[in-house]
Amino acid sequence: MSFTIHDLVPCQTPMSSTLKALEVGYRHIDSAQFYANEAEVGEALRASGIPRDQVFVTTKILTPAGSIESTYDKVLASVEKIGGPGGYVDLFLIHSPKSGPAGRKHLWQVLERLHEEGRAKSIGVSNFGVGHIEEMKSYAKVWPPHVNQLELHPWCQQRTITAYCKRHNIVVEAYSPIVRNYKANDETLVEVAKRYNKTTQQVLLRYSLQKGWIPLPKSDNPERIASNANIFDFNLSEYDVELLDSLDQGDAGAIVEYVVNE
């Protein structure tokens, strides 16, 4: 399971939240250029004392920076903020498909170069639909992308793209897996949580894992960060997974982005 850091409350810093996450056992940290916290993530990694090869770090680029070389310089700067000079990130993603066909090609070719040089161990995409990934076949040397990061939870299951990713062995990461707590009082979710004596957040994270997704919860509360990691001592029954599956609302259930698959 991963820990995502963005939109923290003023009393919390990316460094303090990352350190807390590492302290309670998280070993996957999700960052992005857009979140403006890559340097703090790097500082936290070094301050934690945990060997670098024991923590999986993701970052993302949203749009090209002009020329190929300028974009390469931009992604390399991200790598060095996190990993230091000569360092690396474990996963670098294109944050969104919204830069258009030419922009997506530009970004992917830059990430392929980073991957070839060993500065990004894996490369992938976020919010990409089936059409976006199929389009990549026309220019990609690395295909399929290693990862697709999507909004996923019971109310937004994105079944077309998740099934496609499964067929092509693309790892699926789930952002907003606890729906920003908007559904904490949902009757079905509360009913399931009571059966396991777990919080609704823990049930949603367990659901992600059992669906084969890697959940990316976000919190700025130290107690909640620890609680969200406590999901490995129970399994949801097939009945309860199907019950949560029945909550799907398609694009109406998205709170951030429902991908376009054409």
Binding site residue list:
95
d(CA 5, CA 22): 12
Beta strands 28-30 and 56-61, pairing class: parallel
Query: Within a 10 A sphere around the Cβ of 101, how many other Cβ atoms?
Result: 12
Contacts of residue 258, Cβ cutoff 8 Å, sequence gap at least 6 = 151, 156, 158, 250, 251
d(CA 20, CA 13): 11
- Residue 191 forms beta bridges with which residues? none
Catalytic residue among 26, 35, 175, 258: 35
Q: Is 26 exposed, middle or buried (0-12, 13-18, 19+ CB in 10 A)?
A: buried
Q: Is 88 a catalytic residue?
A: no
Phi/psi for 63 (5° steps) reads -140, 160
Tell me which residues are annotated as active site. 35
